[in-house]
Chain A
Amino acid sequence: MSEPEIKPDIMRISWGPQHPMSGQTRILLDVDGEIVHRLIADLGFTHRGIEKILENRTFMKGIIPIERMVMVDTANIGLGYVLAIEEALGVEVPERANWIRSMICEMARINSHLYAFGLQAEATGYFPAVFLWTTVDREVLLDLFERLTGARWSYNFFLPGGVNADLPEGFQDKVIEGIQYLRGRFAQYWDAMVENAIFEMRCEGVAVLTREDALRLGATGPVLRGSGVDMDVRRDEPYAAYGDLNFKVITETAGDSMARLKVRFHEIGQSLDMIEQVANEVPGGPVRTRAPLFARAKPGEALSRVETARGELGIHMFTDGGMNPYRVKINSPTLRNMYVFERLAELDEVLIADVPVVINSIDPWYLDSDR
């Protein structure tokens, strides 16, 4: 990246990729004392060419690399690609498979939001206690994933035409047990973070994004809903079993870092309810219709939208009649939110101490934005 010019009397700090809170990106801060005048996100350090890789794989094999985009949220990303394949190949999905898909997606969303809480606590200067609590509580979900799919992180469980396997014996009871444990723990997180006086001081009113700006800049996910825009793909264009599940779309009107955090908090409550509903009411029947392993799609286009933990993921797949997709365009949520992040210093006063809070309120995953 060619670096933009620096105004006089301004110091430019290179924040990352070796900075403790930068992740795999570099952020350039133009600072005047403690006040940040400009934020420049220098993305692309982890570009792996996933879109190109997908062109060289058959439809089925593409599921494996695309899940590497967001490791804490592999289910939602993988589902987006699988939905696009199903649309391209014209495969039907049984009812039970859809419900199982929704359950796994919600569990992955909780997993991802837990990570976001931990990092947000760390960003405010919390001693890493909360971060490690989230890491420990994640084990409950990871054990459930392991029991169901055989893997703890990257499941490859969704296949065109359904899911890989049925729920194991007694899985629903384990799920409900885990949910009850997590509900108790989230009450503690609420006390430790949202109710904590200094945490409130650090997060409330920081980097306010108004409703108009959020829509204009194309924010998505909790960032958009934290600014009061009622928008969620799960409700607006139901996929999997979301049409049958009862949930509310959470919005907060404040638009600051705390509002984004609260949106994640309440979304987790909704996710837990949904998982409980699936565990109690999952319909019977087969979990997979057999789709051919090496299928040829008709020439055309397929589009899928899913709501991942970070926001809306769009996958636009072009097929030319071969066994591989001709072109896959991934519209990743982190990239859209990073555009918002770059404008936040212009919209509201941001100090150096706020930068980690702001970046983690976006909840970025740079492998997602760089693809």
Chain B
Amino acid sequence: MSAVLALLSSFILCAIAPLEIAGRLITEIYNWFISFLWSLPGWLWRFFWFNFKPFMQILIIPGLAFILVFAIIVVWFERKFLARAMLRVGPYYCGKRSGWLQLFADFLKLFLKEIVIPYDAQRAFFTVMPVLLPTIPALAVVLIPFDRGWVLFNAGSLGLPLFIAIAGLAPLIPIFSGWASNNKYAFIGSFRTAYLYISAEIPLVMCAAAVAIMAGSFDLVEIVEAQRALWYAIPQFVGFIIFFLGLIIEAERTPFDIPVAEVELVFGWRTEFTGILFGFTMMAEYVGFLAWSLLFITLYLGGFNGPVLFGSPLYSHIFWLILKLAVLVPIVIIIRCIFPRLRMDQMLRLGWYYLTPLAVLNLFIVMALKLWGLA
């Protein structure tokens, strides 16, 4: 009988104990969850506070917001300004006569459009490449110093080589996407891209090397600090001009927009892209423009250097860099309505006969100056 009772009681215990344990567990979890909810704002705030700088750098400057706002403002300016050159008024009805809402409308249109993938295209490459396209120049932007301490990724003495290495990946994508499109125009356009970048990047890298020699460092921050007294645009005027042309070539802007020449190759390697894929290629154009403009300013126009304003070196440095950008970008845009497009062979001749020897000359001048201790 006792055995039966023991069995019964143990059975009851076994049945009840888990319930009790579960109940306590649930209570514990509930309590923990409630306390977690109560402390969540504090945690978030602490997380944000301890990581304030990275947050600001990723989201505001030089991160997402800066790149997007730059692209929007430049596209708006280009449309309105070039419309004036063409005796038009440009976007007019969306957004109070300045037409700024037109850009968002166009983006929405691109976003909602059907993506047409051509027959026999390499689907994976065709869809992935345009998405990669704005990423690469945006990746290069993280290396640009906005202040001595305000660099999203401070690569130290690898800064300049890393920038060129990352930005040098960009021409691969037009080549792949031109091949993936299964279109003759896109194919020709992709090969034009390859020729263009090869003839432009060698003088560019040589000019960058000359700057590094003069500053005595590959660190972009050090290069900017070395220009505190004198911008490198003055001692290296030849390199300044070459880099300016190289910037236009890298951004594929008008005298050198050979790969996307509309009247020759429909739209070059972008011919088959539709909808948001085309939108990505358009955005990439401006992000690349931004990345190379920032490098140009960093190497030749004193980077973030400038008199301290607002009582804060950080804000004034960011202000000066953006101001220099705001002066440089319209100059590059104005060139678009002054010159027709160069032909491929003329472009190659410019790159190999003129820019490359001049870049070598620039390099030797800088080395001589360094040797004699003049710079």
From A11, A127, A133, A202, B82 is in contact (CB under 8 Å) with: A127
By beta carbon, the residue of chain A nearest B339 is A198
Would you call B262 an interface residue if the criterion is a C-beta within 8 Å of the partner chain's C-beta atoms? yes
From A132, A354, A355, A356, B88 is in contact (CB under 8 Å) with: A132
Pair A125/B266 contact, Cβ less than 8 Å: no
Would you call B213 an interface residue if the criterion is a C-beta within 8 Å of the partner chain's C-beta atoms? no
From A19, A126, A136, A355, B340 is in contact (CB under 8 Å) with: A126
From residue B181, how far is it (CB to closest CB) to chain A in Å? 14
Would you call B228 an interface residue if the criterion is a C-beta within 8 Å of the partner chain's C-beta atoms? no
Known: A19-B266, A20-B262, A128-B86. Contact between A198 and B340, CB under 8 A? yes
- Chain B residues positioned under 8 Å from A354 (CB to CB): 343
From residue A278, how far is it (CB to closest CB) to chain B in Å? 30
State the interface size on chain B (CB cutoff 8 A): 30
Would you call A297 an interface residue if the criterion is a C-beta within 8 Å of the partner chain's C-beta atoms? no
Would you call B362 an interface residue if the criterion is a C-beta within 8 Å of the partner chain's C-beta atoms? no
Pair B344/A20 contact, Cβ less than 8 Å: no
Size category of the A interface is 20 to 34
- Chain A residues positioned under 8 Å from B87 (CB to CB): 132-133, 136
Name, among B86, B263, B338, B340, the residue most crowded by chain A CB atoms within 10 Å (CB to CB).
B340
Would you call B103 an interface residue if the criterion is a C-beta within 8 Å of the partner chain's C-beta atoms? no
Pair A124/B341 contact, Cβ less than 8 Å: yes
Cβ < 8 Å to A, chain B residues 305-329: none
From residue B340, how far is it (CB to closest CB) to chain A in Å? 4
Cβ < 8 Å to B, chain A residues 333-357: 351-356
Pair A20/B266 contact, Cβ less than 8 Å: yes
Known: A13-B185, A352-B188. Contact between A125 and B85, CB under 8 A? no
How many A-B residue pairs lie within 8 Å, measured between CB atoms? 81
Query: Per-position contact with A for B255-274: 1 when CB-CB < 8 Å, else 0?
Result: 10110011111100000000
Query: Per-position contact with A for B325-338: 1 when CB-CB < 8 Å, else 0?
Result: 00000000000111
- Chain B residues positioned under 8 Å from A237 (CB to CB): none
From residue B357, how far is it (CB to closest CB) to chain A in Å? 20
A132 to B184, CA, bound (A): 30
Would you call A140 an interface residue if the criterion is a C-beta within 8 Å of the partner chain's C-beta atoms? no
A31 to B187, CA, bound (A): 13
Would you call A250 an interface residue if the criterion is a C-beta within 8 Å of the partner chain's C-beta atoms? no
Cβ < 8 Å to A, chain B residues 188-239: 188, 191
- Chain B residues positioned under 8 Å from A202 (CB to CB): 340-343
- Chain B residues positioned under 8 Å from A186 (CB to CB): none
Pair B86/A125 contact, Cβ less than 8 Å: no
- Chain A residues positioned under 8 Å from B266 (CB to CB): 19-20
Query: Per-position contact with B for A188-206: 1 when CB-CB < 8 Å, else 0?
Result: 0000000011110110000
By beta carbon, the residue of chain A nearest B255 is A198
A354 to B184, CA, bound (A): 17
Pair B188/A125 contact, Cβ less than 8 Å: no
A268 to B7, CA, bound (A): 118
Would you call B345 an interface residue if the criterion is a C-beta within 8 Å of the partner chain's C-beta atoms? yes
Name, among A13, A33, A129, the residue most crowded by chain B CB atoms within 10 Å (CB to CB).
A129
Show the binding face of A for B, using Cβ within 8 Å: 11, 13, 19-21, 31, 33-34, 121-129, 132-133, 136, 196-199, 201-202, 351-356
21 contacts between A and B (CB under 8 A): A11-B184, A20-B263, A20-B266, A21-B263, A125-B261, A125-B263, A125-B341, A128-B86, A129-B82, A129-B86, A129-B337, A132-B87, A136-B87, A197-B339, A201-B343, A351-B343, A351-B345, A352-B188, A352-B264, A353-B261, A354-B343
Q: What are the 6 closest A-B residue pairs judged by CB atoms, nearest first? A: A125-B341, A124-B340, A21-B263, A132-B86, A126-B340, A353-B343
Show the binding face of B for A, using Cβ within 8 Å: 82, 85-88, 184-185, 188, 191, 254-255, 257-258, 261-266, 336-346
